[in-house]
Structure 1
Amino acid sequence: MTDDETHLSAEEYWNARYGSSERIWSGKPNAVLVREVTGLTPGRALDLGCGEGADAVWLARQGWHVTAVDVSSVALDRARDHARQAGVADRIDWQQHDLAVSFPTGTFDLVSAQFLHSQFELPRERILRTAAAAVAPGGVLLVGGHAGHPTWWEHPHPTMRFPTPQEVFHDLGLPADAWEVLVSEEYERDVTDPEGRPAVRTDNVLKVRRLAR
């Protein structure tokens, strides 16, 4: 984050970032979401930090009723367009939230938080604990994250934390008799850097289920 950006609100910061390009992300759902959600019985899903909507649209296509949340009005406008073009607009409720301040109401069969990292100040641990509390009995919390800064960053952000999946689980403080760990792992994926050169990023995933009672 530059000195000029430090005075911005979270919405202003992310609107500026999305407004700097016609599209920021690929328009494809996160591979770990597809891998870990395929086979689950569709129900109500919550997509935190939905960005331009690719994950929410994919979930809706699989039969989920989705609440999709982002702080950026620019991103949400693009996400709505994506959903309309995909024919699933009626299955997605787009909501604007600064998750540091407010959170969607209700409980969900799936809560997905994919790459919820930010150079802007973000109380990630508190948000993920709130996300876990929103999981219905028998439901799943899926948290995907980066294991570190990309190798091409010349000036990594000094305060940005990249916890391991084990650290994420510990930070959640979930009662052992009420949750089960389904997946906790790191993995590598091939990417391209901003110059179009091949690179590798290490990411991680934690998938836990609230036990039905």
Structure 2
Amino acid sequence: MVLEDHWPLGRLRLGTPRLELRQPDDEELAALAEVAAAGVHHPGERPYLTPWTDLPPRQRALHVLQRHWSRRGSWSVDAWTLELGVFHEQRPLGMVALRARDFPVLREVRTESWLGLDHHRRGLGTEARTALLHLAFEELGAVSAVSEAFQDNAGSQGVSRKLGYRHDGTTRDVLDGRAVVSDRLRLDRADWQRTPHAPVTVTGLTACLPFFGC
């Protein structure tokens, strides 16, 4: 027996023309943490409600490690987060996540992502989210995907528009003692299916399906 016999998610692979998405081993996770430590956005930007990117580099790297371990350890059919490393020719670029609660009933997912600053503005974020959405809609039977982004987060908003998301209202939160507004964006199955997107391959999924409640 090996780890993946108990945790088949370790064998799950999503492939796009340029990227492979997979759960990292500890060595790869350390490399991804170093990418985060080097920076994931320009100074002065605040793209995340949880301000983990404001931490000093070493603490930022530790946050990436601990969050990934926590998400694995807390997995249940009723509340899961599939966090995957994003790799190009074995080089770590960043991480993405597909999240859901009560998925067997609601069939709704949420996505999140970060890429190292050197990998921005190359269409890689769109390609990585496409892979997650393919998994959700085509393989797991999702009916909708939701994303939230600050109104000045041009990168995340741009990816959502490319993939066919529609405006679905706003939310208000508190960041550093002030109110901030996010756009809530929704992609339904019909809009996903009518929007062209990069091809995606999925391997190692069959043994994982019970973990998603499928």
TM-score relative to the length of structure 2: 0.39
Larger RCO: Structure 1 or Structure 2 (Cα < 8 Å, ≥ 6 residues apart)? 2
Larger helix share, 1 or 2: 2
TM-score relative to the length of structure 1: 0.39
